[in-house]
């Protein structure tokens, strides 16, 4: 768990909770809570500030863990991102198909409009000749 890595780095560097509090801006109370509670969870920004106070990288503390950051794990967020990306791909493919269908219908409408206009012209000519013949 991230806490074990954190405690190990803290011990390795010989940093006391008071010193870490001064360097990180995190209260001593919060640091003692981390030290005493094996099930503690912290927000990412808190863990980042602790890493800065210890002079290490965030990844040094969180390596080999499934750290819960706030209320959501990184794994769950990655899964949600992957699902969203797949859905975008599906919708893009559907959109391309719909665009092709729309273009096909527009072409069909254009053709039918031309045919209708042509039939109207023929009808008008036919009516003209009928009027001429009836005079």
Residues 62 and 113 in one domain: no
Which domain range does residue 76 map to?
72-135
Q: Which of 59, 6, 9 is nearest to 30 (CA)?
A: 6
Taking CA atoms, 49 is separated from 20, 28, 75, in Å, by 10, 13, 22
Residues 120 and 95 in one domain: yes
Residues 42 and 80 in one domain: no
User: What pLDDT is attached to residue 90?
Assistant: 92
pLDDT along the chain (135 residues), means of 10: 89 95 94 90 87 92 61 66 89 91 93 94 89 79
Say how many domains are in the chain.
Answer: 2
User: What pLDDT is attached to residue 133?
Assistant: 82
pTM for the whole structure: 0.47
Report d(CA 53, CA 45) in Å as an integer: 12
User: What pLDDT is attached to residue 77?
Assistant: 74
User: What pLDDT is attached to residue 67?
Assistant: 46
Residues 77 and 135 in one domain: yes
User: What pLDDT is attached to residue 64?
Assistant: 64
Contact between 3 and 40 under an 8 Å Cβ cutoff? The reply is yes
Residues 39 and 81 in one domain: no
């Amino acid at each position: 768990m991230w806490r074990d890595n954190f405690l190990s780095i803290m011990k390795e560097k010989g940093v006391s909770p008071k010193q870490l509090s001064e360097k990180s801006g995190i209260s001593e109370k919060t640091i003692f809570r981390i030290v005493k509670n094996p099930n503690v969870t912290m927000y990412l920004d808190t863990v980042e500030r602790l890493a800065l106070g210890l002079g290490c990288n965030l990844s040094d503390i969180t390596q080999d863990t499934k750290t819960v950051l706030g209320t959501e794990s990184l794994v769950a967020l990655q899964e949600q991102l992957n699902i969203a990306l797949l859905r975008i791909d599906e919708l893009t493919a559907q959109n391309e198909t719909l665009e092709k269908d729309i273009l096909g219908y527009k072409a069909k409408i254009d053709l039918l409009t031309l045919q209708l206009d042509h039939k109207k012209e023929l009808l008008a000519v036919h009516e003209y000749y009928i009027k001429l013949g009836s005079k």
